[in-house]
Amino acid sequence: MLNRAKFLFATLSLVLWLDAGTSLAQQPPQQSSKHEQAQQKSQDPWWKHAVIYEIYPRSFQDSNGDGVGDINGITSRLDYIRDLGIDAIWISPMYPSPLIDFGYDISDYTAIDPLYGTLADFDHLVSEAKKRNIRVIMDFVPNHTSDQHPWFKESRSSRSNPKRDWYIWRDGNAMGQPPNNWQSWFGHSAWKLDPTTNQYYYHHFYTEQPDLNWRNPQVRKAMYDAMRFWLKRGVAGFRIDAVSRLFEDPNLHDDPILPGKNAYGDPNIAHKYTDNLPEVHEVLREMRKVVNAYPGNPVMISEADEPNIAELAKMYGAKNDEVQLPMDFQIADVNKLSAPDFRRLLNEIDRNAVGGQPHYFFSNHDQPRQWDRYGDGVHNDQIAKLMAALLLATRATPLMYYGEELGMRTTEPARKEDVQDPIGKIGWPEEKGRDGERTPMQWDASTNAGFSASQHPWLPVPPSASIYNVVAEAQDPKSILAFYKRLLALRRNEPALRDGRYLPLNQEDTNVLSFLRKEPGRGEAILVVLNMSAEPRTIKFDLSAHGVKGGSANPLLAAPEIGAESTQLNHFSVPAFGVFIGSVD
Ligand code: GLC
């Protein structure tokens, strides 16, 4: 869930700092035999080992020169996605929409917005992706529709309309005010008076996004039918938007007021009566049955900003019958390079009671990019590699965001009049909105970075595109892109990294996060060492308790580069923000 208001932006260095000292160990990734072994051995569903890549369709590739990305643009870039080493793409909404929330306000759940193309284009994308072993995951927005959806138009037309109960309608209070103090996530009251019937409707997000009433069985049926529509077209599952917000307290209790004000100038409140109500889980179980009826193990990914491991773990379902991959916002939002904080969270989710698969990410279309949030303004490119290793070497299904593999940075609008995202308009200047993390993909150093032939792309291309782009980085073995590619290949080809357990090491170390990845019953393991501090560190490992007998590690991938010779475990040096991934046995 959107988490910007919690986040205080670190001051950005405007200096383009080139990571001159950083490079890669030169060993080629191990080739297919181990990979094939792992493939054959694994009975796991595909999503357990997949790397998923989020595409914000407005910003990935414009194929028709209108300044907005589209489906054919995505199709034209599938080779890049395959070569990067991606198994599945999640595409943010492309349904017909008035675009108040850039597609998260849907006016038809079973069609494609002409801005992005046609259903035929979509089918073509799915089939071309399949040829490259890439699955397509849809974004599904169950909490609310657009106020331009025919269901809402009917619902608002009269109090007796058959669809009246598809949304949340209430009378104002005795003072002629909204029914209670509930606030929209996007600022101000969550209730909007509709003059036609003189009642208020509830909207957790923008006023143009009325919440559906999930207590109405007809709503459930209509939404499940929409899911079936896409499953029949071959999608591999859904990322389910804002899922914890599906239900509100029917008794309309006021939410508790907290100290202080938020970025919109409203009193802070705890969303106690509008978030995470227990009925959410009943719906998730029903959705899981819908997807389970289709072949190919379709996946459900939940977007829910769970406050602690107990709530996060509930998303899997007590019988593993809800969401397979709940996005882990706790890890995404540590917002500082802290070995103890990451270790605690990694340990907690790894040991979840139902054995659910962890699902990590750092960037997405709602939060400032990781380059800025975790960078220190001096070593950002090295830190980008460190974050890549944290994401891709741990035991989780990783979720990347387009351009993170390049070191794309957040580029916020400089002036209020340039802002596209309405929350930036409402909250300016404290809340500048989400445009900064949605800027066009940086393909090359040409005009508009190869994103669009239009003179006016929907968001400007950041100046960093002249250096941080696919073409330039593909030619530089020390680039962030080169590091991601090597790491993705290693993850795919090394069974211990793909399938192995996660075994935390040196748990008292406050600077260096280290862990082993090891398959049960096998001698061979992979040691991952991530120095989260700005100082070089020398540490010791005793891996005997994990069945590792040798006293050294053989590097597979490191940043900054080290030689091919093995490193002694009892005197192990790792540079500032350094990454080491090596085999031990
Ligand atoms: C989710 C989406 C976000 C959207 C909101 C309302 O948080 O990720 O982009 O604005 O839901 O649909």
pLDDT tens digits along 457-507: 999 999 999 999 999 999 999 999 999 999 999 999 999 999 899 999 999
Predicted confidence (pLDDT) at residue 28 exceeds the cutoff of 80: no
Predicted confidence (pLDDT) at residue 6 exceeds the cutoff of 60: no
Which pLDDT belongs to residue 37? 52
Segment 161-170 shows an average pLDDT of: 98
Q: How confident is the model at residue 9 (pLDDT cuts 50, 70, 90)?
A: very low
Which pLDDT belongs to residue 34? 59
> What is the chain's Cα-based Rg?
24
Q: Tell me the per-residue pLDDT of 37-49, one tens digit each, with 9 for 90 and over.
A: 555 456 899 999 9
Residue 345's φ and ψ, nearest 5 degrees, are -70, -40
Which pLDDT belongs to residue 258? 97
Predicted confidence (pLDDT) at residue 27 exceeds the cutoff of 90: no
Q: What is d(CA 221, CA 415) in angstroms, rounded to the nearest whole number?
A: 44
Predicted confidence (pLDDT) at residue 25 exceeds the cutoff of 50: no
For ligand 1, whether the C-beta of 139 sits within 6 Å is no
Residue 558's φ and ψ, nearest 5 degrees, are -150, 150
DSSP structure class, residue 320: S
Q: Tell me the per-residue pLDDT of 169-208, one tens digit each, with 9 for 90 and over.
A: 999 998 989 999 999 999 999 999 999 999 999 999 999 9
Q: Which of 241, 301, 306, 367 to mutate to test the pocket of ligand 1 (most atoms within 8 A of CB)?
A: 241
Predicted confidence (pLDDT) at residue 4 exceeds the cutoff of 60: no
The percentage of residues in the chain with a pLDDT greater than 70, rounded to a whole number, is 93
For ligand 1, whether the C-beta of 419 sits within 6 Å is no
The percentage of residues in the chain with a pLDDT greater than 90, rounded to a whole number, is 89
Which pLDDT belongs to residue 14? 25
Segment 83-102 shows an average pLDDT of: 98
- The residues assigned a catalytic role are 241, 303
Which pLDDT belongs to residue 60? 98
Q: How confident is the model at residue 304 (pLDDT cuts 50, 70, 90)?
A: confident
Predicted confidence (pLDDT) at residue 12 exceeds the cutoff of 50: no
Q: How confident is the model at residue 521 (pLDDT cuts 50, 70, 90)?
A: confident
The structure's pTM equals: 0.93
Question: Which atom of ligand 1 is nearest to 2's Cα?
Answer: 7
Q: Which of 99, 140, 144, 205 to mutate to test the pocket of ligand 1 (most atoms within 8 A of CB)?
A: 205
Distances (CA, A) of 392 to 49, 202, 269, 277, 362: 11, 40, 36, 33, 11
548-562 as b/e, with b when 16 or more CB fall inside 10 Å?
Answer: beebbbbbbbbbbeb
Q: What is d(CA 389, CA 581) in angstroms, rounded to the nearest whole number?
A: 9
Segment 397-404 shows an average pLDDT of: 98
Distances (CA, A) of 522 to 205, 501, 516: 50, 11, 13
The Å distance, Cα 185 to ligand 1 centre, comes to: 10
Q: How confident is the model at residue 372 (pLDDT cuts 50, 70, 90)?
A: very high
Segment 272-298 shows an average pLDDT of: 98
- Of the listed ranges 238-242, 304-308, 383-387, 470-474, the one predicted with least confidence: 304-308
Which pLDDT belongs to residue 26? 31
Predicted confidence (pLDDT) at residue 513 exceeds the cutoff of 90: yes
- Of the listed ranges 25-39, 130-144, 534-548, the one predicted with least confidence: 25-39
DSSP structure class, residue 19: -
